[in-house]
Amino acid sequence: MRQFVVCGHDAPTTPDFPLDDLPGAAGRLDLLCRCVNAGLFLSHGIREDARVHLVLGDEYTVRFDGETARGLHPDERSTAARVREALEQREDAIGHMPADVNPGVELYRMGLADTLDALSGTVVQLHEDGAAVADADPPTDPVFVLSDHSDFTDAEAELLADAADRRVRLGPDAIHADHAISVAHNYLDTDGYTDYGGPTN
Amino acid sequence: MRQFVVCGHDAPTTPDFPLDDLPGAAGRLDLLCRCVNAGLFLSHGIREDARVHLVLGDEYTVRFDGETARGLHPDERSTAARVREALEQREDAIGHMPADVNPGVELYRMGLADTLDALSGTVVQLHEDGAAVADADPPTDPVFVLSDHSDFTDAEAELLADAADRRVRLGPDAIHADHAISVAHNYLDTDGYTDYGGPTN
List residues of A whose CB lies inside 8 A of any B CB. Answer: 19-20, 22-23, 30-31, 34, 37-38, 41-45, 73-78, 132, 134-135, 149, 169-176, 178-179, 182-183, 185-186, 189-190, 193-197
Could you read off the pLDDT tens digit of each residue along chain A, which spans 201 residues? 999 999 999 999 999 999 999 999 999 999 999 999 999 999 989 999 999 999 999 999 999 999 999 999 999 999 999 999 999 999 999 988 999 888 999 999 999 999 999 999 999 998 878 888 877 788 889 999 999 999 999 999 999 999 999 999 999 999 999 999 999 999 999 875 545 555 443
Please check the confidence at residue B22 and state whether its pLDDT lies above 80: yes
Residues of B in Cβ contact (< 8 Å) with A44: 149, 174
B189 to A195: CB separation less than 8 angstroms, yes or no: no
Residues of B in Cβ contact (< 8 Å) with A197: 172
Closest CA to A111 of A163, A67, A66, A76: A163
Asked whether the beta carbons of B31 and B7 are under 8 A apart, the reply is no
* Average pLDDT, integer, range B92-118: 93
Q: Could you say which of B20, B23, B193 has the minimum Cβ distance to residue A73?
A: B23
Q: d(Cα B129, Cα B151) in Å, to the nearest integer?
A: 14
Segment holding A179, helix H or strand E? helix A177-190
Residue of chain A whose Cα is closest to the Cα of B134: A194
B171 to A194: CB separation less than 8 angstroms, yes or no: no
Min Cα separation B164/chain A (Å): 20
Please check the confidence at residue B201 and state whether its pLDDT lies above 60: no
Q: Could you say which of A78, A176, A186 has the minimum Cβ distance to residue B183?
A: A186
Min Cα separation A27/chain B (Å): 12
Residue of chain A whose Cα is closest to the Cα of B188: A171
ipTM: 0.94
A37 to B41: CB separation less than 8 angstroms, yes or no: no
pTM: 0.95
Q: Could you say which of B38, B41, B172 has the minimum Cβ distance to residue A193?
A: B172
Q: What is the CA radius of gyration of chain A?
A: 16
Q: d(Cα A186, Cα A190) in Å, to the nearest integer?
A: 6
First to last CA, chain B: 22
A134 to B182: CB separation less than 8 angstroms, yes or no: no
Min Cα separation B99/chain A (Å): 28
